[in-house]
Chains A and B, each alone.
Chain A
């Protein structure tokens, strides 16, 4: 039933809880007094016991004695002598079944109010109506009967006065002429003296209920004690009708500057009635600003009271019509604060003015408009994170309407009805210069959608704030915001990352990243859950860093806490299209190259450099290149299993495989030597790619043995275009020429060393037979002489040798050996016949050999 009550209250604008209602306040004491009286009477003898054990009283039977006595009591009271006449009392309905007339004699007139009687049930009757409280009845009677001119105080006031008269020590002041106190001025009421402002003051000649709800009449009694808790306050309080104690409380509140938050709202309303009366009934435009300002001030203090908030807003909105134009533009605020079924007039005016001037509505105006539509419901994100929604709205609105939103000028102009909070008057305000957008609907659909979209975008953020209201501004909350709204959280992360990037050459542990985004987990070992990975990805994207291996842009393998992750600064996390051909191929290149260079157990800088050079040559965008370089870094620290990687490489289209192998070889070669493990990897790579393994060795060989190799060599070896021209590298040619000269000199020194030795062909004096053959054994000399005489056949030579006790082959060897010593050339030639070289014979003759 709670909701029902709320709705009723909302419609009425008056919650029951906050304001005491009349019956309990006004009637109860009355009633209590009376019941006390009746209880004093006696019922003895009126109740008799019946035969069946029940109790009879006045012809009725009751099951219990108490009931019977109770009844008897009531009967007795009714029969007691009261004012016999009840002129206004209608004839009571006749009971048909009951033997005894009950109601006819039960009415008793209320003293002082000839029109009101108390019926048998203790209710108050007047003019055929029955009321539960006396004050209701009096009010009704007042309204029914034409007002008697004589008593200047209305009937209800008389009651007040009557009751007030009972209070001891009532202070009554002198009457004062009625006036409005705008500027602060000292007044003196009921013994209190204080500076008052914005109040009506004085005793009117005649109370006009419409206007005088809040007038401070110094002639009225002010009690000595103060009703600070508002015990005596009625639903629509007015100063005249206030209990004297309440008047004191009210005056004290005024005197103390109208700002004590615990003051019952009834007093605030009394003051408020005066303001609205001044503003709307008397249309005091000069004071509009002051009054509106005062209401705004009150609103900040007493805004927690729904009823007051509603009326205050209504006043502020309508008051805008009376304000001069120079008011500052309104800021959007959640609609939830308002309970009207139309767009507040100040909003309409602001929008209307813009339209009248032909201006396009800016984001602020549009949001103001949409928020103030009565049927706009800001969903939870909207209320929970209103600031963010506004900010996002401005952004999105700006995207959609870069030049603002143009609205056609509606024909109707602004008309505002104001119903006073005191329910005593209503006013109609108009401004015919300002068009009224209330009837314009066309642009609202898209705007509403836009607002919903904004709320949707912030839904996750709002849920987080719902769980943890302190999360605002933290990284976790920041990440849930659209990128444009991100603030301190991501900035801090970016700073940290930049620092770490510099410190660690771009590679940090996955666990550290996890810690940076505020996730817990074991320091090492265990795999990072996919959720955490996603969070890392989002966080790094937001802070302008990319990372590798990033499961979004590569194989889906997970990361464990200690796996190295390469980070690199790039806008929006550097998204790439992982399946795009060039990228995928380049990635495979990198993978193969890194595997090749880690095969020997370490990656040296030269190898990474080779990979980078290859990347530079790859046909990928700079962003992709950056990502791949990072990938290489991470891979080098934590190489994948070769078998798994090779399996992936198999997916490369055949056309790109050769290049993959090339990159791998180049990387393996980069450190200038070939480790057997690297060769082994390259072999398995080639097998996996279905390429002939023979190429590896040639390529490795080419790469290794040339420290001074030209870079283009490898490139020219790759391309098979036969049409290319030969490029002669002059520098290299010169180098080569120098080498050639060197080697020629070297070789000459080897092959011609004996040339020098033989140059002085001095005849050697010897005891041997032939001085020309000096150095040669005598028997060999003899044999040589034989050959020199005439060429010998093989057999003759053998025979000659044997005759000299020589072995023919040995002699041949020995003679030629001697000839080498002398002439650097063999002397004997064996072509079936053994001959001496003709040109050497001449030389022999020169040095004196006998022919």
Chain B
């Protein structure tokens, strides 16, 4: 907390004033939720330790799910994991027949991040790191590179489609050897699951299968095995906006997707997979709705039911469901005081507004948009950052005169966001 780097400060403030989750320095603004963070941290550590984990992060709109998922993802990266993440959408789901599942996989892998490339698009880095290591190893041992790749990837053969992985990676190596950019791109394309038909894949890479709608989860397992071979600790899959499954109209489609969730859940809880973690974000109705939510799927319902002993304030964080509570006024107050502290680089003497200013600011927001501002902290934060910026650049201005001028509109996206998750993709657009 004390040492905030100017660089972090700028990127934090920049992100916040743009209304998105900062990439760095989240620890400076995270308020509370220590138990939740600890629980997820244990999950990540388990994944990094060749274990498996799954969490349903359930929270209302504006409860900070996205922020929380970002934080966890950054922690995962910090623990030398590879993360892939995507938001579910009508055209991106876990199981489908019309390419939607493949779409989800493609989106997630496109967002693949490593510690060195946290902003996404790290697939080539991972692949090349693997291939390069294979090359140097081949050089040392005097073996053909292709043989080394095969040897290294031999554990993948246990998995569905593992054989083709080796083929594709060899193709990538060939491409880089021969300067054949098309071949490299094809290999990456195959890895991202972007080949719609086997014919095309066979023509381009000589493989017999593609990653299809039906085996997205298998592809993820394969990927996790691959990144571990490539030298990373594990794979953390972050899927947000799970509520889109709940919104599926067809009961059959819903159930097939929930079946996938159940597969994942079973595999993870039974320890059938290694180095793979799932963090799924959704709204309460996604979990609770007894007709269309997870609770509608009997097998999930019993597995997700809460610990019946964790009542009366006793908390059990070991269950797969983690609930995020919406921000309370106190949460918000601490949050903006943290932001103030970021502005001052952690030096209390440089605070731009006194504590009174914080409450006055909140009071002001409250009177302007009422209760909604708790549910949409994003705009409040944005306004506060702008408020402090003005104060910083105009030291002669008294904060009291400004409080009346902060313009704050209710989150216009509110309804839209509920319906169309695609527009709430601050994680996807998280760039600095």
Segment from B151-159, B199-207, B282-290 that makes contact with A: B282-290
Question: A residues within 8 A CB of B75?
Answer: 747, 750
With A and B bound together, what is the CA distance between A816 and B367 in angstroms? 49
Name the A residues within 8 Å of B116 (CB-CB): 812-813, 816-817, 819-820, 826
Judge whether B59 and A746 touch: CB under 8 Å: no
Interface size band for A:
35 or more
Whether B31 and A740, one on each chain, are in contact in the complex, defined by CB atoms closer than 8 angstroms, is yes
Cβ of A49 under 8 Å from chain B:
no
Determine if B285 and A702 form an interchain contact, defined as CB atoms under 8 angstroms apart: no
From A737, A746, A814, contact of B129 by CB (8 A): A814
- Are A806's CB and B132's CB within 8 A? yes
Question: Chain B contacts of A720 at CB under 8 A?
Answer: 370-371
Q: Give min CB distance, A742 to chain B, whole Å.
A: 4
Indicate if the CB atoms of B334 and A740 lie closer than 8 Å.
yes
Segment 443-477 of A: residues with Cβ below 8 Å from B: none
Contact residues, A7-53 vs B (CB, 8 A) = none
- Asked if A683 contacts B34 (CB within 8 A), the reply is no
* Chain B, Cβ-Cβ closest to A808: B128
**Contact status A813-B129, CB under 8 Å:** yes
- Considering only residues 30-84 of chain B, those with a C-beta below 8 Å from chain A are 30-34, 37-38, 41, 58-60, 71, 74-75, 78-79
Asked if A255 CB lies within 8 Å of chain B CBs, one says no
- Let me know if B129 and A743 touch, CB within 8 A: no
Residues of B in contact, count (CB < 8 Å): 79
Q: Does any Cβ of A come within 8 Å of B111's Cβ?
A: no
Q: B296 to chain A: closest CB distance in Å?
A: 8
Give every chain B residue within 8 A of A819 (Cβ-Cβ). Answer: 116
Please tell me if the beta carbons of B310 and A805 are within 8 angstroms of each other in the complex: no
Residue numbers in A under 8 Å from B301 (CB-CB): 676
Hey, what's the 0/1 contact readout for A736-764 against B, CB within 8 Å counting as 1? 11011111101110110000000000000
Q: Which residues of chain B are within 8 angstroms of A779 by Cβ–Cβ distance?
A: 136
Query: Is B99 positioned at the interface, with any CB of A under 8 Å from its CB?
Result: no
Query: Are A673 and B306 in contact, with the CB atoms below 8 A?
Result: yes
Contact status B31-A736, CB under 8 Å: yes
Cα distance A816–B113 in the bound complex, in angstroms: 13
Known: A707-B313, A743-B33. A725 touches B306 (CB 8 A): no
Closest chain A residue to B359, Cβ basis:
A728
Question: Are A740 and B41 in contact (CB-based, < 8 A)?
Answer: no
Nearest chain B CB to A740's CB is how many angstroms away?
A: 5
In Å, the complex CA distance between A41 and B78 comes to 159
User: Is there contact, CB below 8 Å, between A726 and B37?
Assistant: no
Q: Are B32 and A743 in contact (CB under 8 A)?
A: yes
Closest chain A residue, CB of each to CB of B283: A697
A399 at the binding interface (Cβ < 8 Å): no
Counting CB contacts under 8 A, is A187 at the interface? no
Is the CB–CB distance between B326 and A707 below 8 Å?
no
A429 at the interface (CB under 8 A from B): no
| Contacting residues, chain B, for A680 (C-beta < 8 A) | 290
CB <8 Å contact, B367 and A673: no
Cα of A737 to Cα of B124 in the assembled complex, Å: 42
Chain B proximity mask over A353-394: 1 for CB below 8 Å, otherwise 0 = 000000000000000000000000000000000000000000
Q: Are B1 and A744 neighbours in the complex by a CB distance under 8 Å? A: yes
Question: Measured between alpha carbons, how far is A709 from B330 in the docked complex, in Å?
Answer: 12
Pick from A704, A747, A810, A826: contact of B131, CB below 8 A: A810
Q: Is A304 in the interface zone, CB < 8 Å from B? A: no
Q: Is A701 touching B330 in the complex (CB atoms < 8 A)?
A: no
A679 neighbours in B (Cβ, 8 Å): 288-290, 295
**A732 contacts B by Cβ under 8 Å:** yes
The answer to whether B308 has its CB under 8 Å from any CB of chain A is: yes
Say whether A737 contacts B334, CB under 8 Å: yes
| A676 with B295: CB separation less than 8 A | yes
* A697 close to B334 (CB less than 8 A): no
Contact between chains at A813 and B295 (CB < 8 Å):
no
Does A617 have its Cβ within 8 Å of any Cβ on chain B? no
Determine the distance from Cα of A746 to Cα of B136 in the docked complex, in whole angstroms. Answer: 38
Question: Are the C-beta atoms of A672 and B37 separated by less than 8 Å?
Answer: no
Asked if A707 and B312 make an inter-chain contact with CB atoms under 8 angstroms apart, the answer reads yes
A701 x B323 contact (CB < 8 A): yes
Pick the most buried of A674, A729, A743: most chain B CB atoms within 10 A of its CB: A743
In the complex, what residues of B have CB within 8 A of residue A149's CB?
none
Instruction: Give the complex CA separation of A228 and B136 in angstroms.
Output: 152
Contact partners of A739 in chain B: CB under 8 A: 31-34
- By the criterion CB–CB under 8 Å, are B128 and A726 in contact? no
Q: How distant is B356 from chain A, measured CB to nearest CB, in Å? A: 12
User: How far is B333's CA from A17's CA once the two chains are assembled, in angstroms?
Assistant: 110
Residue of A nearest to B26 (CB): A747
* A707-B314, A747-B37, A751-B27 known; A729+B330 contact, CB < 8 A: yes
Interface residue A671 (Cβ < 8 Å from any Cβ of B): yes
Q: Report Cα–Cα, A743/B1, bound state, in Å.
A: 10
State whether A743 touches B288 (Cβ < 8 A).
no
Give the complex CA separation of A694 and B286 in angstroms.
10
A779 to chain B, nearest CB (A): 8
Known: A704-B323, A722-B370, A728-B359. A743 touches B132 (CB 8 A): no
Q: Would you give 5 A-B contacts (Cβ < 8 Å), ordered by A?
A: A672-B312, A676-B295, A676-B305, A739-B34, A748-B1
Which B residues form the contact surface with A (CB < 8 A)?
A: 1, 26-28, 30-34, 37-38, 41, 58-60, 71, 74-75, 78-79, 114-117, 122, 124-133, 135-136, 176, 179, 283-285, 287-291, 293, 295, 301, 305-308, 310-315, 323-326, 328-331, 333-334, 338, 359, 362-363, 366-367, 369-371
Question: Other than the known A707-B313, A726-B329, what 10 A-B pairs have Cβ atoms closer than 8 Å?
Answer: A674-B306, A698-B284, A702-B326, A740-B34, A743-B30, A805-B135, A807-B135, A809-B128, A810-B127, A812-B116
List the 3 closest pairs (A to B, CB-CB), nearest first.
Answer: A810-B128, A707-B313, A747-B27
